[in-house]
Amino acid sequence: MPIHLIWGDDEAARSRAVETLVNSQVDPSWQSINLSRLDGNDANQAVQALEEARTAPFGAGDRVIVLQRSPFCNQCPADLAEQLEATLNLVAQQCHLVLVNAAKPDGRLKTTKVLQKLVKSGEAKERSFQLPAIWDGSGQVDLVQRTAQELGLKLQADAAQALSVAIGSNSARLASEMEKLSLYVGAGQAITAQAVEALIGSQATNALQVGDALLAGASAQAVALVDVLLAANEPALRIVATLCGQIRGWLWVSLLDQQGENDVNAIAKAAGIGNPKRIYVMRKQIRGHKPDRFLALLRQLLQVEASLKRGADPGDAFRDGFLLAP
């Protein structure tokens, strides 16, 4: 029963995993017959995926049915759930049903419980590809190392650190830049920190650095950092969302500190921060700043967001919001 459950918000890594499976199982000569790519947003295509999973492959190689945006583990309608359960024991030999979704499987659903029981028994396989949070430095280094392994590239430890700083959790750009770096250093050679600095070191910035600059009152530096992000095709509204999350976290920590709250777990829960250890870092960052400062920064970002949604040029929206704000 070769069923594959692939999920996570790292779209680039999900796609690589799917293509690796396709290339390893489907004979190129029979690909037009033995490979199906379907969209689970269409209920008819979801049903079609289940029907094709019962059909043995033709010719050489295996059959692979890829169902993107699979509904079976996320808000699955009752009729589809019944059809999935009826199909599980009927999946043909040498046939791979690949269920792909960006969202984490909903453990409350019966279909999810059935599939995860199969995973535990070894009858199905589950792989997750989650992007690390923008503040999670070690997680970003792990992402770099995992991407290098998936691409079959060698990477020095200091190069992994340099890439995590330069690119962060932008998985698609990371893979692209690593392929360029492999050509730069030569086939079979390990990517070095010097190579990273030579090719992409000048782009080493992320939205959190913009927030740090705003907090320090360095508006011009913040605008320059935003310009680098925009030049690297970072979506403007994503920059705003990251900054809002960062500054809201600072505001919550500041307010709770003023109230005398010392339990970092309680502060993290109230602020919606997953890792309580972040609170120690955030306290150092905001030392000497009052809540009014963070409220003012949030007003600036609201102005930027409003300008962007009215169709303003992203660079102009950030300049006006950061430099012209009272």
pLDDT in tens, the chain (326 residues): 589 999 998 999 999 999 999 999 999 999 999 999 999 999 999 999 999 999 999 999 999 999 999 999 988 889 999 999 999 888 888 999 999 999 999 989 999 999 999 999 888 999 999 888 766 777 888 899 999 998 999 999 888 888 887 787 788 888 988 999 999 988 889 999 888 888 876 444 567 788 888 988 899 999 998 998 888 778 889 889 888 888 888 898 888 888 888 888 888 887 777 667 778 878 888 888 889 999 999 999 999 999 999 999 999 999 999 987 55
**pLDDT at position 301:** 92
Q: First-to-last CA distance in the chain?
A: 64
Q: What's the CA gap between 206 and 214, in Å, rounded?
A: 13
**pLDDT at position 274:** 65
Query: Per CATH, is 137-203 categorized as 1.10.8.60?
Result: yes
Residues, the chain: 326
Q: What's the CA gap between 279 and 260, in Å, rounded?
A: 14
**pLDDT at position 135:** 65
**pLDDT at position 201:** 61
**pLDDT at position 256:** 87
The angle, 0 to 180 degrees and rounded to 10, between the axes of the packed helices 291-309 and 236-258 is 160
Q: Which residues of 3-17 are buried (b: 16+ CB within 10 A; e: fewer)?
A: bbbbbbebebbbbbb
Task: Domain ranges for the chain, please list them.
Answer: 3-128, 137-203, 207-323
**pLDDT at position 297:** 92
The angle, 0 to 180 degrees and rounded to 10, between the axes of the packed helices 193-200 and 157-167 is 20
207-323, what's its fold? Zinc Finger, Delta Prime; domain 3 (1.20.272)
**pLDDT at position 1:** 56
Which CATH number applies to 3-128: 3.30.420.40, 3.30.70.580, 3.40.50.300, 3.40.50.2300? 3.40.50.300
Q: Does the pTM exceed 0.75?
A: no
Q: What letter represents residue 211's amino acid?
A: G
**pLDDT at position 276:** 76
**pLDDT at position 205:** 53
